[in-house]
A and B are shown apart, each in its own frame.
Chain A
Amino acid sequence: EPEVTQTPSHQVTQMGQEVILRCVPISNHLYFYWYRQILGQKVEFLVSFYNNEISEKSEIFDDQFSVERPDGSNFTLKIRSTKLEDSAMYFCASSGGTSGYEQYFGPGTRLTVT
Chain B
Amino acid sequence: ETGVTQSPTHLIKTRGQQVTLRCSSQSGHNTVSWYQQALGQGPQFIFQYYREEENGRGNFPPRFSGLQFPNYSSELNVNALELDDSALYLCASSLNSKPLLEQYFGPGTRLTVT
Q: Judge: A and B partners, yes or no.
A: no
**Contact residues of B with A, CB < 8 Å?**
none
Identify the A interface with B (CB < 8 A).
Answer: none
